[in-house]
Amino acid sequence: MTDLSLAIRNFETDYADARKSARRVQAVSTLLFLGAVLFSAYVGGFFAFTDVTLPSGERVSMLKIWAGLPRLGEYLEKTIPTLRFATLGSDLAEWFWRWETWLRLLWETILIAYAATVLGVFGGFLLSFLAARNLSPGRPVSVVVRRYLEIIRTVPEMVWALIFVFCFGVGPLAGVLAIGLHATGSLGKLYSEANENIDMRPLDGIKASGGNWFQQMRYGAVPQVIPNVISYTLLRFEINVRSSSIIGYVGAGGLGQEIRTAMSLQEYTDLSALFVIILFSMTVIDFLSERLRHRIIGISEHWT
Amino acid sequence: MLELYSLKKSFGQVNAVDDVTVTIEAGQMVGIIGRSGAGKSTLLRLVNRLIEPTNGSILFNGRDITKLWGRDLRLWRASCAMIFQQFNLVERMDVLTNVLIGRVAHQGPLSTVARRFREEERALAVQALDRLDLLSQALQKAGTLSGGQQQRVAIAKALVQRPEIMLADEPIASLDPANATRVMDALRKINREDGITVLVNLHTLDTARTYCDRIIAMRAGRIVFEGLPAELTRERLQAIYGIDGSDFELDESVTSTAIAPLTTSQSRQKTMA
C-alpha cells in the first residue's frame, strides 16, 4: 500500500511538472502570436495617421482606418437604388434596366464555369496519380508534376485571363482556359492528397495478380477516391462560378465586363443590381450543388 | 519445380532473407514456419517479385524468374498467385470484379478503362466463386463480407489467374478458428484437385502439421529445417522458436487456431489415404 501511494505521489509530482511546462509553452506562444499580429497590422498601415478637415474647418490628424470608414458608407449609399412603394414596378425595371444583357451574361458566366470545371477535372484527375507520392511511377515524375500543378494554381486566374485574352482575344474562350488551368492546379493538388490517403493493400493485391501501374490505379486507387473526387469537383464548380463572374473584368467573358463598365461609368446602381444578380445565383448554385453532392455521394457508393 | 539459389534480400543492414537455397517440388503443399520477422513474408514476396532480391536467383521449371521484366514479369506474377494476410481486396468493388482482377495480366488498356472482361473470364470467375461457396455474394461489395469470406474471395481471385503456384502469406492469421479451417481446407483442396503447388506461411504449428506435405522453418532469414512434419521434434522446434539461452517450453495447443488440434494426426491420416 505504501509502495502504491509513493508511486501515486511521484506521478502527481511529474504530472504537475508536465502541466506547468505545458502552460508555459501556451503562454509564450500566445504572446508570440499576438506580437506577430500587431507587427503585421503595423506594416499593413493599420496605425497610420492621415490629416482630415472637420466640418468646422479645423484640420486634425486621425487614424487612417477611422477616417476612411465613413467613405465606405458613402460608396454603398450611392449604390442603393431609389425604390418607392407606389412605383415599385417601374423603379425595379429602372434598377435592372439591362436585365436582358445581364441574364445572357449570367448564363455565359455559368457556362464558362462549367466548361472550366470539366477541363480542370480532366487535367487534375489524370495528373493527380502522377503527383501522389505513394502512387507516382517515379520520384522525378511526381516532382515535375507537382511543380507544374503549383505553378498553374499559383498564378491568379486574372493573370491567366490577361494572357489568354492577349492570345485568343476578348471572349469566353480566354475565361474558360484561364479558370480551367487554375482549376487543374487546385483540383490536381486536392485529388493527389486524396490519393495519398488511400489504403495501398488493394494495389499490392492487383500488382501481385500481374496488374500494371495503370491497372493498379484503375482498380485499386480510383474506387477509393471517387467520393472525394466528386465532392471536390462540385465545390470547385461553385468556386469557378465566383471566378467567372469577375473574370470578364479583363475581357474574358461573363458578367465581369458589365461590372467594369458600371464602375468606369460610375453607374453605382448598376453595380448593386449586378451584385444582387450574382449573390442570388450563387446562393441558388451553392444550394443545388450541396444537395447534389450529398445525393451523389449516396449514389456513388455503387460506383467504382 | 521451383528452385531458389542463395537468395538474399537486405533492408539496410538487416538481411531479411539470407542465403536461402531450397527446391519446392511441383504439386506439393509446403508450409513455412518461424518466428515473426524470420523472413517468411519477404521470401514469398521475392518469389512473386513484389520485391527485388539483393542476390541469388529463382528458377521455375528451369526458367530464371529474377531476370523477367515488363509483360513477362506480370505474366509470371499472374502464374504464381499471392494470397495476403489482410486479403488486399478492393473493398468498394463487388466480389465478382475483385475475382476478375485475377485476369488483369491478360487485359488490354481500353478494357481496363471500361472495366470490361471477356465472357470466358466471367464464366471462370463465377465457377471459382461457386467452388468457394460464394456465388450468392458475387454482387455484394467485398468490404461487406466477413474476414473468412474475403479470404475465400482472394482465393477465388487466385484461382482465375490459373496459377501454377499459390503463395499464401499468413492466410489465416486474422481469422477465427472456423474460418481458418475453411480457408486452409480450400487451399488443400486446390492443391490436391488442381495439382497447384501451394507455399503457405503459417505461424501456428499444428496447422502446418495438419495440412502440409513438407515444412520449411526459417530463423533470422535462414532456413533452419526442411523436411516432413513428423521430423519436427521438440529439440528442433526449440531451435526454431526458442529464445536463446532461456528455458522455453513450446505448447502447440496454446498457439493453435484449429478447432480440434488433438485430432491432427487423424485428419492427416484421412487426407493421406
Q: Note the pLDDT tens digit of each residue in B69-93.
A: 899 999 999 999 999 999 999 999 9
Kind and range of the H or E run holding A51: strand A49-53
- Give percent of chain A above pLDDT 90: 66
Looking at the complex, report in whole angstroms how far the Cα of residue A151 sits from the nearest Cα belonging to chain B.
30
Q: Note the pLDDT tens digit of each residue in A121-161.
A: 999 999 999 999 999 998 999 999 999 999 999 999 999 99
Q: Is residue B265 part of a domain?
A: no
Which residue in the set B75, B76, B84 is minimally distant from A205, CB to CB? B84
Res A86: pLDDT: 87
Poorest-pLDDT segment among A239-243, B35-39, B95-99:
B35-39
Q: Is residue B243 part of a domain?
A: yes
Res A300: pLDDT: 65
Q: Is residue B108 part of a domain?
A: no
Q: How far is A89 from A110, CA to CA, in rounded Å?
A: 28
CA A257 from centroid of its chain's CA atoms: 21
- CATH number for the domain spanning A229: value is 1.10.3720.10
Q: Note the pLDDT tens digit of each residue in A113-122.
A: 999 999 999 9
Q: Is residue B107 part of a domain?
A: no
CB atoms A218 and B90 under 8 Å: no
- Overall average pLDDT of the A265-292 stretch: 90
Looking at the complex, report in whole angstroms how far the Cα of residue A128 sits from the nearest Cα belonging to chain B.
17
Q: How many structural domains compose chain A? A: 1
CB atoms B97 and A219 under 8 Å: yes
Is residue A3 packed enough to be buried (19+ CB in 10 Å), middle (13-18) or exposed (0-12)? exposed
How much is the mean pLDDT over chain A?
A: 91
Q: Which residues of A touch B112 (CB under 8 A)?
A: 214-215, 218-219
- Which residues of chain A approach chain B closer than 8 Å at the C-beta? 201-202, 204-212, 214-215, 218-220, 223-224, 226, 304
Which residue in the set B91, B94, B157 is minimally distant from A209, CB to CB? B157
Q: Is residue A283 part of a domain?
A: yes
Position B42 pLDDT exceeds 60 = yes
- AA identity, residue B81: A
Q: Is residue B224 part of a domain?
A: yes
* Domain that includes residue B239, residue range: 2-89+164-255
Q: Is residue A290 part of a domain?
A: yes
Q: Which residues of B touch A218 (CB under 8 A)?
A: 112-113, 115
Would you place residue B269 in the very low, low, confident or very high pLDDT band (cuts 50, 70, 90)? very low
Would you place residue B131 in the very low, low, confident or very high pLDDT band (cuts 50, 70, 90)? very high
Q: Is residue B158 part of a domain?
A: no
Q: Is residue A90 part of a domain?
A: no
CB atoms A304 and B94 under 8 Å: yes
Is the separation of the CB atoms in B102 and A209 below 8 Å?
yes
- Overall average pLDDT of the A237-258 stretch: 91
Looking at the complex, report in whole angstroms how far the Cα of residue B116 sits from the nearest Cα belonging to chain A.
12
- CATH number for the domain spanning B66: value is 3.40.50.300
Q: How many structural domains compose chain B? A: 1
Nearest CA in chain A to B70: A212
Looking at the complex, report in whole angstroms how far the Cα of residue A304 sits from the nearest Cα belonging to chain B.
6
Position A24 pLDDT exceeds 90 = yes
- Overall average pLDDT of the B106-115 stretch: 92
Q: Is residue B155 part of a domain?
A: no
Q: Note the pLDDT tens digit of each residue in A154-195.
A: 999 999 999 999 999 999 999 999 999 999 999 999 999 999
Q: Say what the pTM is.
A: 0.83
ipTM strictly over 0.85? yes
Would you place residue A304 in the very low, low, confident or very high pLDDT band (cuts 50, 70, 90)? low
* Residues ≥6 apart with Cβ < 8 Å to B187: B29, B155, B166, B168, B171, B198, B200, B211
Res B259: pLDDT: 58
Position B255 pLDDT exceeds 90 = no
Would you place residue B261 in the very low, low, confident or very high pLDDT band (cuts 50, 70, 90)? very low
Beta bridge partners of B2: B24, B60
Q: Which residues of A touch B86 (CB under 8 A)?
A: 201
